[in-house]
Amino acid sequence: MHVTAVWHRWRTALLAGLVLGVVFGVVEGFSIFYSAFVVDLGLDRADASGMYAFYLLTSVLAAPPGARLVACFGPRRVIAAAFPVFAAAVAACALLSSLWQFYAIYVLVLAATTTLLVVASQVLISASYDRDRGKATGIAYACLGVGDFLLFTVLGFVVEQAGWRVGYLAGGALGLAGALVFLRASRGLGGPAPALPAEKPVEPRPRRPLGNPVLWLACTAALAASVTDFFTFQTVVPYLTSQGWGTSLSGFMLGLAGLSYAAGQLAGGAISDRWSRELVAVGSAALFLAGLVVLWLLPGPLLLTGAVVLLGLSVGCTIGCRVAAVGDLFAGPTLSAATGTVHIASAIGSAFATWFGGLSYSLTGHYGWSFAVAGGFACLWVVALVLAAPRRARRALPATPEPLAAG
């Protein structure tokens, strides 16, 4: 297919992926920064990681008003306003000298802006694609995985060579560059998607999403999926370093997980569009459990690399499938509200995984509890998504060609 045609069809997904790649590449790279600034500022590692977990929980408070802002002003306008603020807040971290100042920036500014950017990006994808929603989500979150790998690598090198303050400045500069690219390339984007031919759905959707039990199943699935996600990206590196692996090699392993995460997004989106979200949920959970067992056994470098890649692949499939399933289950005026509510559950799962990993090690001297809990939540993810049954919502869609994304 001609490059121009590909760009025209998938521009929305690619630009949403740009936003997600920059945002998560910076915020999920927190361990790169805090491993340096706790030494420089004389802080306790548990206190610093607790601050990050609190930041994740605080993002819960920003989700409902964020969803209302997206519904009111549209996802493109929200991204255009929040992206530069995010970049400035990241750069401002270079000036901090105490833990309470990190709380102020992360909790009061970054929690709100990252939540706005994530919710707006997800709504942008779900509202612009229909039958190819899983594929579009896979493309966007594949960009997230590539962004993780690139930014982890760049920021790790900058922090090692020039210090954490310069690293935060570099993160802010990358955020500003991403904002400028988005503003330039997204002109005309974010309007209403072309309407499908008038055809009533098989089952009318409730106007009040909080009264819909399917929403709570979707929230449970999102919480469980985020536990597996943040176990991979926040616990694997400290686990490896606690077992004698070097920080630089552990960081490289995390980058490989980011790349396989991108592959998982692409594969999971295409498969879930072709067959079902539930099939991808079962397969991703099985891959995650297999990677978990191999990682715990701590084999030689080759098998260990395979286990980390397997974990990244599985959570890539999981998160992309989860986002697409929310778009399947909710439509019209309920989409923004449902996305914001599900994001609350996702943030709770992320904070829990980050906090529990440290607690597990503090209480037992190893990460065994964290491994066991992550495996349990992988199983819960499957059960919750199967019960929510996005396949029924997809069957109600009219069998018409996919409309092009707005813009």
Owner of token pair 């519904």: 71
To which residue do tokens 């996702």 refer? 346
Q: What is the pLDDT of residue 346?
A: 85
More confident residue, 314 or 201: 314
Domains of the chain (ranges plus CATH)?
3-191+207-395 (1.20.1250.20)
Taking the whole predicted model, whether its pTM rises above 0.85 is answered as no
Q: What percent of the chain has pLDDT over 70?
A: 84
Q: Residue 182 is encoded by which pair of tokens? A: 């988005």
Give the alpha-carbon dihedral of 291, 293, 295, 300, to 10 degrees: -100
Q: What is the pLDDT of residue 109?
A: 93
**For 53-67, 191-205, 262-276, 307-321, which range has the lowest pLDDT when averaged over its residues?**
191-205
Q: Any long-range contacts for 1-10 (C-beta under 8 Å, 24+ apart)?
A: 8/404, 9/404, 9/405, 10/136, 10/139, 10/405
Name the more confident of 192 and 337. 337
> Token match 């778009």: residue?
327
pLDDT for 397 beyond 60 = no
Identify which of 200, 223, 229 has the alpha carbon closest to the alpha carbon of residue 318.
229
